[in-house]
């Protein structure tokens, strides 16, 4: 195979990578603060494990898939799916990755701009004024207190005309099996017209008991970077072919 052909194939491969570069995985590297426990999964890991988030977007929507073996009815305590929290100005937790953000809670961590209700699929905006009063927090009976688990729909503001949605049909219904909770957030509902110009987002999900929490940042790739690299390789191939 000629060097030109190899360079062209490499460029094409990078072009394909560029087309899928808007997808990313957020692994569970967050513990969060709590009075009684500061590990990852509290209780039975076959029930409360949150494995990862997979995030992608297109011209109109942000897609978030949460992989967890938790499902409503998995335990006898009545715990439910929590809501999805979204930050549109980056992710700013308290603490460091080294301590798995073990000092982070509602008092000092990220203040989320939006929350997507898992039950109804409605999107709510959160104000900085009386921020915590708009949230459902894990309480004294939970292993982690003062952790955001849901939005108070009577206190937060429903985004007018929102078209975001949830799909819980992929949730597991067998203990120990990994299922998926799917969230679709319309970019216009977040006030975003071009996500490629909004370079950093934050995301968070947990069940209402907060036995395991996933939280992390999603950096939108700079548009055109990989495509330009591919074009550069094509140019390099043409240059080598000409010299030959």
Same domain, residue pair 241 and 145: no
On whether both 127 and 182 belong to a single domain, the answer is: yes
**What is the mean predicted confidence (pLDDT) over 73-83?**
95
Q: Identify which of 56, 80, 52, 79 has the alpha carbon closest to the alpha carbon of residue 66.
A: 52
Does 11 have pLDDT greater than 80? no
Range of the domain at 3: 1-21+223-244
| Same domain membership, residue 183 and residue 81 | yes
Q: Which residues lie closer than 8 Å to 197 by C-beta, 6 or more apart? A: none
How would you classify residue 61: left for phi > 0, otherwise alpha for psi between -120 and 50, otherwise beta?
Answer: beta
What's the chain's average pLDDT?
86
User: Which residues have C-beta within 8 Å of that of residue 8, sequence separation ≥ 6?
Assistant: 233, 234, 237
Distance (Å, whole) CA 23 – CA 220:
9
The answer on pLDDT for 4 being more than 50 is no
Tell me: do 199 and 214 sit in the same domain. yes
User: In terms of pLDDT, which residue wins out, 5 or 30?
Assistant: 30
pLDDT score at 177: 98
Q: What is the pLDDT of residue 142?
A: 79
**Both 14 and 98 in a single domain?**
no
Q: Is there a single domain that holds both residue 227 and residue 148? A: no
pLDDT digits (tens, 9 = 90+) for 42-52: 999 999 999 99
Same domain, residue pair 179 and 116: yes
| pLDDT surpassing 60 at residue 184 | yes
Same domain, 6 and 34: no
* pLDDT (tens digit per residue) in 129-173: 999 999 999 987 778 889 999 999 999 999 999 999 999 999 999
Q: How many structural domains are present in the chain?
A: 2
Instruction: Kindly state the percentage of the chain with pLDDT values over 70.
Output: 82
Give the three-class secondary structure for 104: coil
Please check whether residues 87 and 9 belong to one and the same domain: no
C-alpha 69: how far from chain center = 17
- Looking at the structure, tell me whether residues 114 and 145 fall in a common domain: yes
Whether residues 129 and 234 fall in one domain? no
Q: How far is CA 90 from CA 27, 114, 203, 218, 220, in A?
A: 17, 13, 9, 8, 10
- Looking up tokens 């977007």 gives 57
Predicted structure pTM score: 0.85
Q: 2 and 81: one domain?
A: no
């Amino acid at each position: 195979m000629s060097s030109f052909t190899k360079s062209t194939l490499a460029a094409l491969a990078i072009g394909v990578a560029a087309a899928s570069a808007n997808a990313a995985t957020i692994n569970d590297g967050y513990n969060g603060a709590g009075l009684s426990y500061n590990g990852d999964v509290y209780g039975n890991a076959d029930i409360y494990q949150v494995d990862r988030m997979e995030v992608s977007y297109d011209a109109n929507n942000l897609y978030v898939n949460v992989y967890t073996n938790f499902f409503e009815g998995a335990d006898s305590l009545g715990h439910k799916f929590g809501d999805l929290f979204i930050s549109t100005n980056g992710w700013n937790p308290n603490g460091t990755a080294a301590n798995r953000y073990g000092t982070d809670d509602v008092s000092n961590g990220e203040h989320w701009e939006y929350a997507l209700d898992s039950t109804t699929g409605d999107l709510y905006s959160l104000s900085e004024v009386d921020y915590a009063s708009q949230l459902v927090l894990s309480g004294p009976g939970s292993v982690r207190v003062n952790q955001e688990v849901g939005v108070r729909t009577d206190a937060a503001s429903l985004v007018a005309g929102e078209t975001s949605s949830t799909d819980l049909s992929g949730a597991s219904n067998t203990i120990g099996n990994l299922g998926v909770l799917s969230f679709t957030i319309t970019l216009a509902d977040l006030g975003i017209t071009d996500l490629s110009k909004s370079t950093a987002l934050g995301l968070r999900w947990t069940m209402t008991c907060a036995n395991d929490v996933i939280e992390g940042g999603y950096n939108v790739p700079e548009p055109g970077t990989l495509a330009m690299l591919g074009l550069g390789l094509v140019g390099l191939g043409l240059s080598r072919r000409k010299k030959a």
